[in-house]
Structure 1
Amino acid sequence: MTEAARSKEDFEAAEEQLQKFPKKKDVSFYLAAANLSFSGGDLVTAINALQQALAADPKSSAAHMAMGNLHLVQKDLKQVGEEFKKAADLAPVRSIERLKYAEFEWGVGDAGEVRRIATDMTRSAPDYLPGWFWLAELAYKDKKYDEALSILENVFGRDPEYLDGGRLQGDLLLAKGDAKKAMEVLERLDQTYPNVPLVKYKLARAYLANNNANQAKLALDEAVSINPDYDDAVLLLAQVNFATGHGEAVIEPTTRLLRKRPNLTNAALVLAGAYGSLDRFDDAAAVLHNQAELTPND
């Protein structure tokens, strides 16, 4: 119930239920108390509760993961990495803790640690697909496209419709210049997962590589319809609309995007271009002037 505490009434009800918890010195009690405090914006009390949880059981992977999440909110990446690593080391190979630690290390650019985690996964549990996926991602990052595709066969041999694997396969084929095959792979993936904006965005990129702007626009319209805050899709859709002579369709979504991300130079450029295509030259000049002031080094 603590996870659902949002309104004042919910929060008070969750607190009341927490006080009825039978084992108030158990890790699960401290974790629930920390979650409730965090939901209420009381980080100090949340930290204290997690420290009590770890005192009760220093080998609780869930407590270390929760502490890492809290440090993530505080943007203390060093502490996040340490807590996530402790959680991963204490958790089974097939666990959310291992996956989250790999994702964190990927995000901070520690390819060596991601490789260590993924290799351990594939050795300990060869049928556990995330390990193979991460090794393929690493090969892709190193521009070893054929090696990455070969690694992905370990994924597709066990699950031909693995979402992350299909997405990566499409990226790899595009990187190799095989736009037609990439499009075919991503079309099949889109049929299997019809409501995933990322797949539609990747499919749109494949359509563009195949010089099919109309299909790209349809895919991007669907992506943005599902998730209006998908910035990459909003920007690419604006660029496609501008390139195909639909400047009017660029202005509202790109203006909204720049309100959220004022330093996004590519959005400013396409907006200025759209204004220019509509003979609104003063508006175009104003966008470019404002962008020059925001990003003088670009």
Structure 2
Amino acid sequence: MLESVKHVIAVASGKGGVGKSTVTANLALAMSQKGFKVGVLDADIYGPSQALMLGVSDDVRPQMKDGTTFLPVEAHGLHTMSMAYLVTEKTPMVWRGPMVSGAFQQILTQTDWPDLDYLFIDMPPGTGDIQLTLSQKVKVAGAVIVTTPQDIALLDAKKGVEMFRKVKIPVLGVVENMSLHTCSNCGHSEPVFGEGGGDRIAREYDTALLGQLPLALKVREQADSGVPSVIAEPDGDIAGFFSQIADNMNEQLEGAVQVAPTISFSDD
């Protein structure tokens, strides 16, 4: 069902807690506001969060087509699919790796995606089964790596970059989240988690720093309420940051060439 999708974009991180899902939701919405047709697949089988961030009620279930294919759930103009639509929020996914990979393949390939310019895949943290399954089953146009400036996050982000390069998926760039915190009372700004980390990774791996996002309370509040910042404050600073990140990603995507293995024959 992916023949109707022009560009599959993996949004990934080496570790959890860096805001990858928040970046995915807002980046997808920023791209949608530019007039593109956009979908979001929540590939975090164990801990899906896109339903909450996009304001989809816990009792929403995808409609079926011909009894075998899911119809994506629409949210804020996005076409979405998530394991959260198939279970309740209190259902733990106590599964081994092959079961997780199978569930991911099912919601990816058995969803009747409409014609999309972009399908953003919110990847689970790490470099495990789902990442490998994605690289083997789908032609991915590129990956966006989300990190914070914190040293431990940067260490894991490097592993994410290395993993995508190993499986021949272009890394479009790095988004540095929580780069700077500004006190709402006194206006003082400081880099709580360090500074310059995203730029260092981008330079080390010869990729782009797509953008830097502040550590802001309202970003978390808006995501938790089901109305991400790009929708909640379309003319605000945060929406502007995501709009620029979307433009930078598009620029990198135009120059990205996915390397495919070649087969040559010789008379020798």
Higher Rg: 1
TM-score interval, smaller chain: under 0.3
TM-score (norm 2): 0.28
Structure with the larger RCO, 1 or 2 (CA within 8 Å, 6+ apart): 2
Higher helix share: 1
